[in-house]
Structure 1
């Protein structure tokens, strides 16, 4: 039994006439009758019986018609779903993200824009470091990454989404909150908390290197993975920590303040990453377009227009005729 047998049978059942069914199916009556005869023989039941100048379904035929319609509808839905996934209209896109990225605004804005673009595609957010994202992209377990570092692998492409100055977060009761200017030497006797080195290896190295460049050894007392715990320890005055300015604005703490460190010139960037070979896949392309729409950096970047061939020729002529000094 094949799907075409079911389609033929359902059409005949709806038309109650082999002749009218042949018109809809664009098939002559003889092969259609033979196909239905083969179907009845395979099933071992009679599906039709004469009714005036047409036919009608037997009791077995009526029961089979109901099931056949359901089967054809399920097949049609399965085909539509497969096409929808292939075209990026359906399915689920998995995004890997750094745990602190959700507070920065760009990721949540990206998700909102993407949902507006393709509302029937679900999104699954999985926390993982940038390095873990790169591996997952190569393995195909995620479609997109949002992290603190840009990959150096040519197989992966990226866009810089945000860039924020790194500063110091301290309790409002801390002595450093009263200083007009904070320098690295002011931190020499302070207890410093950092986020885990395995999550932000370059940030650790940059902070430690910058301090050592000023002849200062920071007293890093702990690495705290949980951001709420990190903020709580700062608020009670137990320690200080380094934080991006936009992060402090996104998560306001009435008992803490953010201060720039004059001789610490470190910017924190966040990047979206995808596998270069997947750039034209509908879902990935929609994610890239959504990222471009919400990135403050990309929105500020001046647009570059390609010059027309005629314009280029005029420029070359001017450069040849202009006097040299």
Structure 2
């Protein structure tokens, strides 16, 4: 049962209606509070709001009752915020700005002047130059489209697509079950990251058998379970067993631990340009985990804007000669 369904069951429709009214009253009272706080005078605030001072005082009183504390100290020359009132002013100003922004954004999108495209992207993919180049090109050629970019791991992107939290995902195909449309951009793979003074770093060639018994920094199973499973299967098929000393949830954390000499790790080959100076990235003969990098989206929300985004990024990879 969803949270909304639980609320309906717990409170009933009438209670939800009253809750909505209370929220509306709270927002209105916050607006009056902010004006009074900024002007430091109920009289001046009432003039600004075009209401009588007694109505403003009543609004502030309602807000103090709703919050359970005093917001102003009354003084002969006006009003002064309490410590709690100062804290509320910062939050209330931000809330009202966000409400205004939401209304303006809705009006622009509703009128067709601005479109919104929510993109979840795997940070490792940004190391491919066509990605940032493609984003810049899309922005310049689609100035009325608002791009909302959110970094997330591939498995998180599939979950976000399923719930509708994002419109399109830039993610690696890991075998996650889905019925999504997709466009492949490039094929990545895994490579080995190790400290420059590690014994394996001195070998002219690395083969998968060299990894047997090595101390590894693994992937967080809660966030990257499918990727970890692919790695385990590839090693097992080669008859290699490794020791996972710790797990991390990001490439940055993994490379930092490798740089500290705490173990070696598999990272996307595309990360070879972002590793610390005392870390080397090596190919391992006999070990491969192909990682197709794709754009994913739900067919039912396919729009002209979304397809233009797909075409733009795919076009950048074509121009770079990197489509697989």
TM range (shorter): 0.5 to 0.7
Number of the residue aligned with 2:280: 257
Q: Structure 2 CA distance, aligned partners of 1:221 and 1:82?
A: 53
Q: Which has the higher helix share?
A: 2
Change (3 A) 1:278 1:298: farther
Q: Deviation at 1:237?
A: 1.9
d(CA) in 2 for partners of 1:224, 1:115: 33
Under a length normalisation based on structure 2, what TM-score does the superposition of the two structures give?
A: 0.60
Q: Distance in 2 between matches of 1:184 and 1:78?
A: 55
SS of residue matched to 1:200? helix
Match of 1:268 among 291, 297, 322: 291
Structure 2 equivalent of residue 114 of structure 1: 138
- Runs of 5+ consecutive residues of structure 2 not aligned to the other structure: 1-104
- In structure 1, the partner of 2:122 is 98
CA contact (8 A) 2:156 2:223 kept: no
| RMSD of aligned Cα (Å) | 2.8
Deviations 1:92-129 (A, max 9, x none): 32111224333344432332121022123221122334
Which residue of the partner structure matches residue 217 of structure 2? 193
> Any idea what the Cα deviations from partners look like across 1:26-72, whole Å, max 9, x if unmatched?
xxxxxxxxxxxxxxxxxxxxxxxxxxxxxxxxxxxxxxxxxxxxxxx
Structure 1 residues 1-325: aligned runs within 5 Å: 82-84=110-112, 90-149=114-173, 152-154=177-179, 156-249=180-273, 251-279=274-302, 281-295=303-317, 299=321
Q: Deviation of residue 247 (structure 1)?
A: 1.4
Q: What is the CA distance between 1:148 and its match in structure 2?
A: 1.5
> Matches of 1:187 and 1:153 in 2, distance apart?
34
TM-score (norm 1): 0.60
Distance apart, 1:133 and its partner CA: 2.6
Question: In the alignment, is the contact (CA less than 8 A) between 2:186 and 2:322 conserved in 1?
Answer: no
CA distance in 1 between partners of 2:147 and 2:290 (Å): 29
| 1:185-220 deviation line (CA, Å, top 9, x unaligned) | 212232111222233333212221222223221111
Aligned to 2:67: none
Quote the Cα distance in structure 1 between the aligned partners of 2:183 and 2:210. Answer: 36
Tell me if the contact between 1:292 and 1:298 (Cα under 8 Å) persists in the aligned partners.
Answer: no
Classify 1:299/1:276 alpha carbon distance in 2 versus 1 (closer, same or farther; 3 Å).
Answer: farther
Contact 1:161–1:297 at 8 Å: present in 2 too? no
User: CA 1:140 to 1:214, structure 2 compared with 1: closer, same or farther past 3 Å?
Assistant: closer
Measured at CA, do residues 295 and 301 of structure 1 come closer, stay the same or move farther in structure 2, by a change above 3 Å?
A: closer
**Higher alpha-carbon Rg:** 1
Cα 1:228–1:135 shift into 2, 3 Å: closer
